[in-house]
Copies of this chain bind each other. A is one copy, B any other.
Amino acid sequence: MKKHFLITAGPTREAIDPVRYLTNRSSGKMGYALAGAAAHEGHRVTLISGPCDLDVPEGVDFLPVESAKEMYDAVEHYISKTDIAIFAAAVADYRPASVPEQKIKKEADSLTLELVKNPDILGSARKKFAFTGTLVGFAAETENALTNARSKLVRKHCDLIVANDVSRSDIGFDSSENEVTLVYPDHELKLPKENKYQLALDIIEKSLEINALRQ
C-alpha cells in the first residue's frame, strides 16, 4: 500500500545579521537518502529541506527552507496530509534573539550573542499539529545516545527514534555511511554499519511496518 511521507532534511540556518549565521554540520545526506528511497519504492514524498548541496531525488515534492521557523511553518502546513513523518533534519535548537538589519561591525574585542530556543518541530507534531500518523525522529548525540534517544521518544510521543553517535567521524553527519540503533517504545534494534541509502531503505521499511500495525 502506497503512503505519503513527509521527510525533513539538512541543517537550518539561523541569521545573526545579513551575512552571518549559526548552523550545524548536517549534510542532509540521510534525509535525501530517505526521500529518494521512499520515492523509489513508489511512495509519495514531500521533502522539506534546509540548505544542502545535494540533488533533489527524482519524483519528490521539494520544499526548500532556511531557518527552523520556516521549517516549522512548512511542517505545520503539510503534516496533516501525510501518513508517515520522518524528521531527519538537524534543526538548530537556538536562534539569535534579535537580528540587526545591517552587518555587525567588529569593533569590540568580545561580543555576547543572546540566543532563544527555536520551536520544537518534533515535539509539536502530536501536541500542536495533532498528527496521528507514524512519527519517526532522529537523535544525533555525542554521549549517552541511547538514553537520550529513549527520553526523546517518550517526551515527543514518537513511534521510533533513529539514534546515532555523531562524535564518531567514520559515521554520521558528513559521511556516506551511518551506524544507528532503532529505539522503539518496547525494544531496541542495532542495525549494522551501512551506506545511507541502504539504511534509508531499512528505515522506510520499519516505518511502514509500524504504520501497518496501527491501522
Contacts and interface: CB of A to CB of B under 8 A. Distances in A.
A97 interface: yes
B103 A142 contact: yes
A138 B18 CA distance: 17
A20 B22 contact: yes
A122 to B, nearest CB: 12
A140 B117 CA distance: 30
Nearest to A106: B93
Contacts of A186: none
- The residue among A94, A141, A167 with the most chain B CB atoms within 10 A of its own CB is A94
B110 A113 contact: no
Contact of A113 (B26, B102, B108, B115): B115
How extensive is the interface on chain A, given as a class?
Answer: 35 or more
A206 interface: no
A166 interface: yes
- The residue among A20, A21, A108, A110 with the most chain B CB atoms within 10 A of its own CB is A20
A17 to B, nearest CB: 8
A53 B174 CA distance: 13
A72 interface: no
A173 B94 CA distance: 24
A193 interface: no
Nearest to A53: B53
Interface in A48-66: 53
Interface of A: 16, 18-26, 53, 90, 92-94, 97, 101-103, 106, 108-117, 140-143, 166-167, 173
